[in-house]
Structure 1
């Protein structure tokens, strides 16, 4: 029987749970602690489509998407992405 060690991530980030929310790293959790009581509307892990799907010479390319850790809104307007 071969026992394999669990491989660590590229940046050796350790997950952390704060207020019942699991964050991928301690740094992300610490940033959440700083911003959680701010008056702005904050969303987490909201996906954005950077580039729509397209075709060139009959070859189809998939849409490009980005999922930031935090998005800040000022009313309905996107103010900041972290």
Structure 2
């Protein structure tokens, strides 16, 4: 997998919170299978919050998508693609 480390937009999630439709770099990726889900602690020395991480099959592409906890004053917040295998 290659590192991406860029923000993305998640427009739909499953009832469990798994990203279903991900937009990044003028492309749209649709979830076909959730391969893994885990929690990761943030880099506390940088003031980074914890996050939920998914490894998702989206057609022929595998994405590792992270979502930072919504902690007031925390940076960064929201969704981003950590890694991609295409």
TM, length-normalised to structure 2: 0.26
Greater share of helix:
1
TM, length-normalised to structure 1: 0.27
**Higher RCO (CA-CA < 8 Å; seq separation 6+):** 2
